[in-house]
Amino acid sequence: MKISTRARYGTRLMVELGLHYGEGPIFLKDIAKNEDISLKYLSQIIIPLKTAGLVDSFRGAHGGYLLTRPPDQITMKEVIEILEGNFNLVECVKSPSSCSRISLCATRNLWSVLGEKITQVLEGVTLAALVSRCKEKQEHSICYSI
């Protein structure tokens, strides 16, 4: 199982917005540069986050994107679910009628429990926690310039 690039980059986008929370809008091109992600790709990723109401946009010279809620009120479950969809690892967990072997299946419960555990972990991590971790890492990094 792999998390998609869309979800990984979307998470990094949200952390960047969280780092600037309360400072006003930030240009997507600045986020793309800071995170070394294609602006074109970020332009696609931001759409579902905006549609879901996690991000807002403003036009003009002082425009850009910002979070609609404080980072401590946004869980990673919300972000990943918007970008990846639900956490049902196999179709039969969500739709038992999709499988004719449901009554015989020894593994369906495993996939169900695993999906629940993933959901619990992501519900327990806020964007604020990732922002805090990012700031911690930035404080401990040494930058060299010539």
pLDDT at residue 143 is higher than 90: no
* Cα-based distances in Å from 101 to 95, 112, 134: 12, 15, 46
Cα first-last separation, the chain:
42
Closest CA to 87 of 77, 76, 95: 77
pLDDT in tens, 114-129: 989 999 999 999 999 9
**pLDDT band for position 23 (cuts 50, 70, 90):** very high
CA distance 37 to 20: 18
Q: pTM here?
A: 0.86
State the Cα torsion 15-84-51-76 to the nearest 10°: -40
CATH of region 5-129 = 1.10.10.10
